[in-house]
Amino acid sequence: MQVYRDISEVSFDKKAVVTIGTFDGVHIGHQKIITHLVEEARLEGFNAIVMTFWPHPRQVLRPYDPPVQLLFSLEEKIEALAALGIHHLIIVPFTLAFASTSASFFVETVLVNTLKCARLVIGYDHHFGKNREGNIQFLYQIAPAMGFKVNEIPPQDIDDIAVSSTKIRQALLGGQIRLANSFIGRPYVLDAKVVKGHQIGRTIAFPTANLELTEPLKLIPAKGVYAVEVAIGSARHKGMMNIGLRPTVGGEELQLEVHLFDFNHDIYGEVLRVFVHERIRDEQKFSDLNALKNQLIQDQKNIISYFESGKP
């Protein structure tokens, strides 16, 4: 897959099947649309092209709203789209100037002249262009004169999947990790750098790696203890992650920390990929560190049993 980070980098001669969207999470609904696109392109001998945006349009269009909680960093999105077999990914820098582009200008200049769009695969409720004037009715009207066809993803197809980025966010914030993962089609991922902590875990034989997310706007699941796998280089290690305020030791800021089973290496400064499989329990406050240690021993047993059961 070839990645372009601006329309100005693009120059195609071959016709294309194109879809456009934010695709945060690249969930199973997105996957259905893109798989359809790739198959159409294969049958016709066309390019399979996905156009997406960064930053998330809501960050630009509603700057005074609370920040968007992203399901995917840009790099995670690129990886997920590449796995679906598209030929070209175009990442458009989303700005107010771009948002003010008329739908007609966008269709003629970008879709037709630049991307050589022969078929546009689009959801029934998609809008684009200034004042959201570009909708499915507009596309059906303009497509014949512009020389491309519109393949609408009908409401029934999308409703049958019953998934959206909003539903995934709600599941994660509610600690419903398995539900969120079923919508995404893979374990939820957190990419994070290992930073120095207070090293309290070492005093109770549960050393932890304190994590700092590489994407500040990445959605953090509900507070609690989680069964996780952690990729360090090419190896994966099972472990448990705590998300919370660490009330037993008087913490006041939300922290992410992971304890890896049967692992004793210095990984300060490294970037880890954490695959979140299941939420084991709520965050709790314990009477002292010994009580906390006893609970962590039980948590570890529960998580090992979870992985041994084959549930992931």
Q: What is the pLDDT of residues 194-224, one digit of tens each?
A: 998 766 666 677 888 999 999 999 999 999 9
Stronger pLDDT, 67 or 47, i.e. the higher one = 47
CATH code of the domain containing 249: 2.40.30.30
Same domain, 156 and 191: no
Least confident of 195-199, 235-239, 288-292: 195-199
| Confidence category of residue 256, pLDDT binned at 50, 70, 90 | very high
**Number of domains the chain contains:** 2
What share of the chain has pLDDT > 90, as a percent? Answer: 68
**Does residue 22 register a pLDDT over 80?**
yes
Stronger pLDDT, 125 or 106, i.e. the higher one = 106
| Confidence category of residue 183, pLDDT binned at 50, 70, 90 | very high
Position 202 scores a pLDDT of 67
Count of Cβ atoms closer than 10 Å to residue 96 Cβ: 9
Same domain, 159 and 192: no
Which domain, by its residues, includes 150? Answer: 2-163
Q: Across the chain, what does the average pLDDT equal?
A: 90
**Does residue 159 register a pLDDT over 70?**
no
| Confidence category of residue 310, pLDDT binned at 50, 70, 90 | confident
Burial of 17 by CB count in 10 Å (0-12 exposed, 13-18 middle, 19+ buried)? buried
For residues 90 and 10, is the Cβ–Cβ distance under 8 A?
Answer: yes
For residues 187 and 276, is the Cβ–Cβ distance under 8 A?
Answer: yes
Same domain, 105 and 63: yes
**Does residue 158 register a pLDDT over 60?**
no
Same domain, 16 and 92: yes
Q: What is the mean pLDDT of residues 52-65?
A: 92
**Does residue 312 register a pLDDT over 70?**
no
Buried b (16+ CB within 10 A) or exposed e, 270-280: eebebbbbbbb
Same domain, 112 and 222: no
